[in-house]
Structure 1
Amino acid sequence: MPTITTDRGQQVHYRDHGSDGQPAVLLLHSFFMDGEMFAAQVADFGSEFRLITMDERAHGGTPADAPFDYWDVAHDALALLDHLGIARAAVIGTSQGGFIGMRMALLAPERVAALALLGTSAAAEAPEVAAAYRQSAAVWAEQGPVDALIEQTAAICLGGARHPEWERKWRAYPTEQVLLAIEALAGRDDIVARLPEITCPALVLHGTDDAAYAVAAAEQIVAGIPKSEPLVTVESGKHFLSFTNAEAVDPHLRTFLHAQL
């Protein structure tokens, strides 16, 4: 996978699935995943757009050398677009990817042509949930990726479905990267009040069985972004919606992208 080093000294691994002549779409993955989680989207509409996946800090092939926040990762994403010579792109973000996509749209509104947000939230993590995540980090630091943590991750993120290929990745995750990733998740800031500053068209999709964020989190985003389309709810959809429910969400994504690019 190609790697760039940003002007801030951050390495970013990415994959460019298209060519210069196609409309550009940056896909931002969920917590504990990497760019490979968008394999279904690359297969479903990769011939129609220039799909670019990147591994976010402390995930996949992109390291984190120090504590970071999602504003830092948004800067990484913009630097990747710069490296690829892309002035404007649509952004698709699932869960954590949505945190980053919204921050990209706030940092550089002229760079984000459209924003598709799946299973995400603009709010800070609830204090009790943040505390639980930090407790999980403490267990991981002391005991490593014990079965209970892997099963908990699968339950929250994938609706309990077991994916051995991803579980192998989770078990191989370097502990120092896990701790940095969890702290970025647990400690993120609230941007609800800034949603009206997002000027691009937006599409928000949310699963009715999302175990991390209630549908109300998606409704809050739709209400806050001025050019948001009506909320799309996916019956029985799980938290990592673009991965677990690709057949349901990809037609919506394709239609939205064609309308905006």
Structure 2
Amino acid sequence: MATTTTLTVPHLGGTKVGYRLSSPFFPCLSTTVLINSMCTTVSLYDSQFSSDRLDGTTNLLAIEPLGHGSTSCPSEHFTYWDSAIIAIQLLDALKIDKVFGIGTSQGGWIVVRMALLAPDRILGLLPLGTSMDSESPDSRTKGAWDPLTQLEPFYEKWSSPVTTPEFVVDEIWRGMVASLGFDSGEGVPEETLKFWDETLKEVYKGDEGRKKVRMALICLLERDGLLLRLGDIKCPVYWLQGPQDPVFGLKLAQEQIKLFTGSVEARLTIVEGASHYLNATKPEAVEDALLEMIGRYWLE
């Protein structure tokens, strides 16, 4: 479900940010920010919060970006850059200085934006099942999906000139979020489908919910690419990708990891059997990479 813990930051006239923070919080440990994928919530990272290996090794701070979970702002319009800014402002509010960043799918390009905006505060990046390009024609020639063709009907349906108090996000959309993200080849467990079906119905309901999911979709379809900016990233990058990722494939990750030319270390790990939501189906691989990065780059 969406988190019930929120904190208001200044950006966009006062944004209420939904987040989940490890408890207890240990100031002597590193902190890892986790940004969730399209139309999910902090619950995407339940495996990480319940991990015995991470408990007592790093604090975890999962943040719901704009258009997701409990995060909301006065402005109907926002971009992925805005989500990166509110995440940084949440760090300020929580008095957390330097962090590692994990981002699944859209979360991957949000944490990279955080590193571009606040390079002195991001110690390392772990993009999972993602791409650094826009939804470009070039990406589609290299195995990525075509979201405009597949998702434009939802945009049209959710663009209403009148209020929609009875709105509940479409059943097809709810099923697609789970099937695209959690299926690693053996189908999605029924309890997973049910959990996310209920979560999406709760988050995206009424007129506010319609506007929220519509703008989240616009952000996805119209996001700007980061390819020309990746060389400015200085921190280490450990990218994890499934070889049969149904959204972005593998070739994009293989090409784009080479664009982190300014990074102290940039590598791609291919995780066999991973779903698009790689952290959920292969949490051990994510833990391995994160613990290795913390061991090498944690400053305190």
Q: TM-score, normalised by structure 1?
A: 0.92
Q: How far did 1:188 drift?
A: 0.3
Q: Which residue of 2 aligns with 1:165?
A: 195
Deviation (angstroms), 1:258 = 2.3
For 1:46-61, list aligned pairs within 5 A: 46-61=55-70
Cα deviation, 1:131-161, whole Å, max 9, x if unaligned, reads 4222233345688534332332223222251
Number of the residue aligned with 2:142: none
Which residue of structure 1 aligns with residue 8 of structure 2?
Answer: 5
Which residue pairs with 2:292 in the alignment?
Answer: 255
Which region of structure 1 is more displaced relative to structure 2, 26-35 or 247-256? 247-256
The one-letter code matched in structure 2 to 1:157 is G
Q: Which sections of structure 1, spanning at least 5 residues, go unmatched?
A: none
- The aligned residue for residue 115 of structure 1 is 125
Equivalent residue runs for 1:155-194 within 5 Å: 155-159=179-183, 160-162=187-189, 163=192, 164-172=194-202, 173=204, 174-194=209-229
Normalising by structure 2, what TM-score?
Answer: 0.81
- Is 1:105 the equivalent of 2:115? yes
Is 1:200 matched up with 2:235?
yes
C-alpha distance in structure 2 between counterparts of 1:25 and 1:154, whole Å: 25
Q: Which amino acid aligns with 2:106?
A: Q
Distance 1:102 1:204, change over 3 A: same
Partner of 2:169: 145
Instruction: Note the aligned Cα RMSD (angstroms).
Output: 1.9
Aligned residues: 261
Report if the CA contact (8 A) 1:137-1:178 is conserved. no
Alpha-carbon distance in structure 2 between the residues aligned to 1:197 and 1:165: 39
Determine the C-alpha separation between the residues in 1 that align with 2:173 and 2:156. Answer: 11
**1:81 matches 2:116:** no
Report what 2:252 is aligned to: 217
Quick check: 2:260–2:266 contact (8 Å CA) kept in 1? Answer: no
Alignment correspondent of 2:48: 41
Secondary structure, in 3 states, of the residue corresponding to 1:122? coil
Q: Which amino acid aligns with 2:129?
A: G
Structure with higher Rg: it is 2
Secondary structure of the corresponding residue to residue 228 of structure 2? helix
Other structure's SS at 2:67 match: coil
Q: Which moved more, 1:152-161 or 1:36-45?
A: 152-161
Q: Give the secondary structure class of the aligned counterpart of 1:239.
A: coil
Runs ≥4 residues deviating over 3 A: 139-147
Instruction: Please say if residues 131 and 186 of structure 1, whose CA atoms lie closer than 8 Å, have aligned partners that are also in contact.
Output: no
**2:143 matched residue in structure 1:** none
Residue of structure 2 aligned with 1:93, choices 100, 103, 109: 103
Q: Per-residue CA shift, 1:62-104, capped at 9, x if unaligned?
A: 1244111110011001101111112211111111111111111
Q: Residues 134 and 183 of structure 1 are in contact (CA less than 8 Å); yes or no, is this contact kept in structure 2?
A: no
- Give deviations 1:21-40, integer Å, cap 9, x for gaps: 21111111111111121111
SS in 2 for 1:114: strand
Conserved 8 A contact 1:91-1:101 = yes
**Which of the residues 28, 36, 41 maps onto 2:35?**
28
Q: Given the alignment of the two structures, is residue 132 of structure 1 paired with residue 150 of structure 2, yes or no?
A: yes
- Summarize the Cα distance change of 1:151–1:255 in structure 2 as closer, same or farther, 3 Å threshold: same
Contact persistence 2:237–2:267 (CA under 8 A): no
Q: Give the conservation status (yes or no) of the 8 Å contact 2:36–2:107.
A: yes
Q: Name the SS for the 1:90 alignment partner.
A: strand
Using a 3 Å threshold, how does the CA distance of structure 1 residues 219 and 187 change in structure 2: closer, same or farther?
A: same
Identical aligned pairs, as a percentage? Answer: 29
Structure 1 residues 177 and 217: CA distance shift in structure 2, 3 A: same
Partners of 1:122 and 1:221 within 8 A in 2: yes
Q: Which amino acid aligns with 2:294?
A: L
> In 1, Cα distance between the equivalents of 2:136 and 2:179?
18
Segments of structure 2 that go 5 or more residues without pairing to the other structure are 138-145, 161-166
Report if the CA contact (8 A) 1:124-1:189 is conserved: yes
